[in-house]
Amino acid sequence: MPIRILLADDHRLFRAGMRRILEENPDLQVVAEASSGQEAVEQAKLHKPDVAVIDIGMKELNGIEATAQILRHSPRTGVLVLSMHSDERYVIRAVRVGAQGYLLKDSVEEGLLEAIESVHHGKPYFSPAVAKILRNREGRDPKLQEYDDLYETLTERERHIYHLLAEGLGSKEIAAHLGISVHTVETHRTRVMEKLELHGIAELVLSAVRRGLVG
């Protein structure tokens, strides 16, 4: 049976390019596509793909949070994270939530097929620059457990609201989007600000950009 794949990236042309690479191999089958993190989670619930290829910087729900939710609903899915960034914070965060691979976008053409094969067979795959980061990090902290970013202290709901706020949505829009009250959104917003030691929406947006969560 072919390896069943979910492609999630908010750039349609990039997604089409990946599909083209994959469709050249008869042992691979793209069963679903998504243009946002939330859509990726829903497609993973529906299709239970063997491998999910997830862009780290998507709208509604970033790739890290989407990975965590996908693995909760479809634990047998191997997740390969795509990113423009080789920054240690993004790599470690992806590993912490359960991603088995981390492929830099500038290596997709030559590395995508090998990465999917590795992840599907339960073997980790990391772009060379990313592998170096992990080796250096393991030397300092084999368990990769310390909280080196206040973002790690946020709950799943708080992270989702943080991401939506950073995209420019107001409390009423977020409440409607998530099906919760404005009061609940404001409560979460206050907790996010306190935990991340932020003092306004401008600082919040800047912090999200620095973390690579929004463009």
Q: What is the pLDDT of residue 86?
A: 76
E-assigned strand segments in the chain: 3-8, 28-34, 51-55, 78-83, 101-104, 125-126
So what's the pLDDT on residue 141? Answer: 52
Which candidate, 47, 55, 6, places its Cα nearest to that of 30? 6
Task: Write down the pLDDT at residue 117.
Answer: 93
Within this chain, do residues 36 and 129 fall inside the same structural domain, yes or no? yes
Asked whether residue 145 is assigned to any structural domain, the reply reads no
Domain limits at 66? 3-140
The pLDDT, as a whole number, for residue 137 is: 62
Domain count across the chain? 2
Asked if residue 130 and residue 59 are part of one domain, the reply reads yes
Residues lower than pLDDT 70 in the chain: 137-148, 212, 214-215
Q: What is the pLDDT of residue 214?
A: 66
Q: Give the pTM.
A: 0.71
